Amino acid sequence: MEANKAQADYWASPAGLKWIEHEHALDTAMAGMLDKMLDMAGIVSTDRIIDIGCGTGASTLEAAQRVPGGMVLGVDISEPLLARAARRAKAQGTQNVSFLVADAQTYDFSTQPFDILLSRLGMSFFSDTAAALGNLAKALNERGKMVFVCWASVAKNPWFAIPKQAAEDRLSALPQGDPNAPGPTAFQDCDRVTNLMARAGLSSIEAHEVEIALTPPGGVAGAARAASKVGPAARIVKAYKGTEADEAAIEDAVMTVFEKFDDRGTVRVPAVVNIFTCSR
């Protein structure tokens, strides 16, 4: 795991484990982007699928529903997240899934190539994206294809931008970082990513900017809580050693702005994602 040790450490840390704590809220919020990605993959019932950066397993389990005669392998670098995914699969009685702790940038998947590679928000964290894409291409059979969804920029996503502003107002802004550094929005520039895909030897490359709605549960309060606990606001709170009072103030500020996304109790936060497709 040396190539992405920093990611392995992060996703096993309290910050990474927030994805378990807020699993239901995050999975519910992101259901629309997951459905869109799966629909674009053109899955058939006997496909063998590999799901990269599967986290607590929502994408793996949803894909498994679409391949009753196939199987899905969920891969993640975080043992705690995968342990949770395995518990979810067992609780649901899903038989056609398995999980593997691995660094997908370097792990050899070529012995049993797959029909489809999927990833919901898991492809933008590699230390060397071109190397990772080249390695993952070998996980596909000759007719195999990749379909993965990633966030567009923070500016295009109120889910990130509003909590970020609230945290900056309460504490302070973080120093400007490299927008292409491994992280949630590292694939915001479609041209850069498609060039990396071409360098990795992939073909039939396409990038689609897609507008969706995030649909978190729990009304405005639930939406504000989820958006504040994972993402830019959480990073600012951690960096400035924010207190519980700071966290509460940020959440209240987010809730006030999120009111505009409320439609009679259902919250729909406009979002933009980039969906990339290619073949081996």
Return per-residue pLDDT of the chain as tens, 280 residues: 468 888 888 887 887 888 899 999 999 999 999 999 999 999 999 999 999 999 999 999 999 999 999 999 999 999 999 999 999 999 999 999 999 999 999 999 999 899 999 999 999 999 999 999 999 999 999 999 999 999 999 999 999 999 999 999 999 999 998 999 999 999 999 999 999 999 999 999 999 999 999 999 999 999 999 999 999 999 999 999 999 999 999 999 999 999 999 999 899 999 999 999 999 8
Spatial separation of the C-alpha atoms in residues 113 and 135, rounded to whole Å: 12
Q: Tokens 């729909």 label which residue?
A: 268
Phi/psi class of residue 208: alpha, beta or left (left: φ > 0; alpha: ψ in -120 to 50)? beta
**Which parts of 88-246 are beta strand (E)?**
97-101, 114-120, 140-151, 203-214
Instruction: Give the CATH number of domain 2-153+180-216+271-279.
Output: 3.40.50.150
Beta bridge partners of 209: 274
Return the domain boundaries, the chain: 2-153+180-216+271-279
Spatial separation of the C-alpha atoms in residues 237 and 184, rounded to whole Å: 17
Spatial separation of the C-alpha atoms in residues 75 and 32, rounded to whole Å: 22
Nearest to 235 by CA among 52, 14, 2: 14
